């Protein structure tokens, strides 16, 4: 990937992880379209990039709306002539954590619409045109280290991110099958200190009118001392993503992997086959 000649689109780039990725791309000479559901935040990040000498524009996008994401793709291809990197990063969580039995269908549907279908809409809107252009391409889909570990009280979020994992892994192999010079990276953030908790509550309230004032918080019984539960700032995530793209890595982790948890799962999966 020649970042100095590339064009990138980053959703959820108005703050946190997306902002870090957009800034890192721009520092390498990449033209960046900063997209976020909050137009003011997107415009602010684009202004920061331009003030630092980078090339950026901004657009409001609602990733749950396929037409909104299609319009984002139209603007990107019109402005840049091509898109070399797509980061489907927009996502939401929930606060407080709640048990499955204290969740609602609306909780699961809303989380899935943003975290999973937001990625699907990005793939549908950008992939055909990106495949048709020459040169190296990369899609980066944001999942979570929650899918590699145990996170009681966070079922709708974890389930939606597992769906991102499955889509990404299959898409990667399909592109390999067809000889495309096109990588797919799954970004697994651990506990990154962003405002996603508050912004998620705000967006949920705006979209559904639900302020979650009657939510029953999950009572944590066990302590899971995973390395990805130790907070880190978002400032280095962009560097990690750039390195993953350079290497065409299938996965990019912001924290050390929960190796013992992964090993235990693998042991249980292997043992589960009885051979009847």
- Return the active site residues: 157
* 94 and 200 Cβ atoms separated by less than 8 Å: yes
Unique residue bearing structure tokens 């280095």: 236
The Cβ of residue 251 has, within 10 Å, a number of other Cβ atoms equal to 16
Q: How far apart are CA 44 and CA 252, in angstroms?
A: 27
* Cα separation, 165 vs 143, whole angstroms: 7
Bridge-based pairing of strands 7-10 and 85-88 is: parallel
Copy the structure tokens of residue 119. Answer: 């990625």
Please give the Cα distance from 67 to 221 (Å, whole number): 43
Q: How far apart are CA 221 and CA 232, in angstroms?
A: 24
């Amino acid at each position: 990937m020649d970042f100095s000649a590339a064009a990138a689109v980053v959703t959820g780039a108005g703050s946190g992880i997306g902002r870090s990725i957009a800034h890192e791309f721009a520092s390498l000479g990449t033209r960046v379209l900063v997209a976020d559901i909050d137009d003011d935040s997107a415009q602010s990040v684009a202004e920061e990039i331009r003030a630092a000498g980078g090339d950026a524009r901004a657009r409001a996008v609602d990733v749950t709306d396929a037409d909104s994401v299609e319009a984002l793709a139209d603007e990107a291809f019109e402005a840049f002539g091509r898109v070399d990197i797509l980061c489907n990063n927009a996502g939401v969580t929930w606060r407080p954590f709640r048990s499955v039995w204290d969740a609602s269908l609306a909780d699961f549907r809303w989380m899935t619409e943003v975290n999973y279908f937001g990625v699907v809409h990005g793939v549908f809107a950008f992939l055909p045109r990106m495949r048709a252009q020459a040169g190296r391409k990369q899609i980066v889909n944001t999942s979570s280290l929650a899918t590699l570990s145990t996170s009681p009280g966070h079922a709708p979020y974890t389930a939606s991110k597992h769906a991102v994992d499955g889509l990404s892994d299959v898409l990667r192999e399909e592109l390999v099958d067809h000889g495309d010079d096109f990588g797919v990276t799954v970004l697994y953030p651990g506990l990154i200190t962003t405002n996603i908790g508050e912004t998620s509550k705000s967006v949920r309230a705006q979209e559904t009118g639900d302020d979650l004032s009657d939510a029953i918080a999950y009572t944590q019984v066990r302590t899971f001392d995973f390395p990805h539960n130790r907070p880190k700032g978002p400032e280095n995530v962009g560097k990690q993503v750039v390195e993953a793209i350079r290497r065409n890595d299938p996965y990019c982790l912001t924290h050390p992997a929960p190796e013992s948890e992964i090993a235990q799962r693998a042991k249980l999966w292997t043992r589960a086959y009885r051979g009847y």
